[in-house]
Structure 1
Amino acid sequence: MKFIVTRELGKLARWLRIFGFDTVYFSQGGSGSLIIQALREERIVITRNQRLSKTSGVRTLFIEAQTVREQIKEVYARLRIPSGSERMFSRCVLCNLELERIAKEQIQGQVPPYVFETQQDFLRCPCCQRIYWQGTHWGNVHQMVKEIGPPWNS
């Protein structure tokens, strides 16, 4: 499932990427460009813009929820995304590209010494070169998932 998320839902776009969904954050350009990209790339438009949500010919999801937690639940429930569809931490939250495993030796000097000493598994974005590992953010994300509860049961 691929999404294109409009500018007013930037936090939701980031969380969908964290969950592993291919999510374009459309922050610049007009609705015509957004629709063309959605059709060309077969993406579902996720928006809070009522006019855009009524565009025919493109699949859209109008988000009513105000908080990102409730927005995530709404996406899962309304699109009937099954549990286990997530591929947590498989995409760059900045670039949206799939992360690649990288050997620990290749990132020496690119992460803090403590991280290098205590972590074994690393991922890198092939575009921006950002390096990911199971740090405190990993636990924070899992805590968020726990707080949200299973959104597919909403």
Structure 2
Amino acid sequence: MVITKDICFTAETTLGKLAKWLRILGFDTVYQAGVSGDGLPDPAGKNRILLTRTKRVRDRSTDHKLVFINSNDPYEQVREVLQALGIGAADTRPFSRCTRCNILTRQVDKDAVRSRVPDYVWETNSTFQICSRCRRIYWPGSHIQRSYDIIKQFFETGNI
């Protein structure tokens, strides 16, 4: 089994949807829109694995680990990463990171978010998560089940 906290990624600018899905799966994934190739943070720092679609980056990289992404489809890109690194479903921690900031979220008391979420959401949910950096609030809405269905398919054979 791979230890999720030990897997960190740096994704280049063309891989924004892949970066978001890796964050949804619970992986520390650095991604900066508009920054590619040489402008990315040093992937060797923090043992980051570089995710690239750039052949010249792949061809000249000798000092750090990378996964070259072939597919244009974001779901297939996730599969490429999972398969290349041997990551299984048990290695993930879905919905544990902020999809914007990449920071681990933490549980927050329901009363603390009352004025920050729609009334219906506050009345129908008992658990809430918050990002310590951007203060974004997360709750288990209907999108969570759809996302879990997609996550399940990442680890099954066949197409999404």
TM-score, normalisation: structure 2: 0.87
Contact 1:46/1:62, CA 8 A, preserved across alignment:
yes
| Residue in structure 2 matching 1:3, options 2, 9, 24 | 9
| Residue in structure 2 matching 1:131, options 118, 137, 140 | 137
Name the residue aligned to 1:106. Answer: 112
Aligned amino acid, residue 69 of structure 1: Y
Name the residue aligned to 1:66. Answer: 72
Residue 71 of structure 1: how far off its partner (Å): 0.8
Cα distance in 2 for partners of 1:149, 1:40 equals 29
Residue 83 of structure 1: how far off its partner (Å): 2.8
Cα distance in 1 for partners of 2:32, 2:67 equals 15
Name the residue aligned to 2:4. Answer: none
Structure 1: unaligned runs, 5 residues or longer: none
Aligned 1:1-154 pairs, distance under 5 A: 1-29=7-35, 31-34=37-40, 37-54=42-59, 55-150=61-156
The alignment-based identity, stated in percent, is 36
The 3 A distance-change label for structure 1 pair 30 and 77 is closer
Structure 2: unaligned runs, 5 residues or longer: 1-6
Number of matched pairs: 150
Cα distance in 2 for partners of 1:82, 1:110 equals 36
| Cα deviation digits, residues 19-54 of structure 1 (max 9, x gap) | 0000000334463443x6211222000010111122
Cα distance in 1 for partners of 2:43, 2:86 equals 20
The 3 A distance-change label for structure 1 pair 11 and 30 is closer
TM-score, normalisation: structure 1: 0.90
**Secondary structure of the structure 1 residue equivalent to 2:44:** helix
Aligned amino acid, residue 50 of structure 1: K
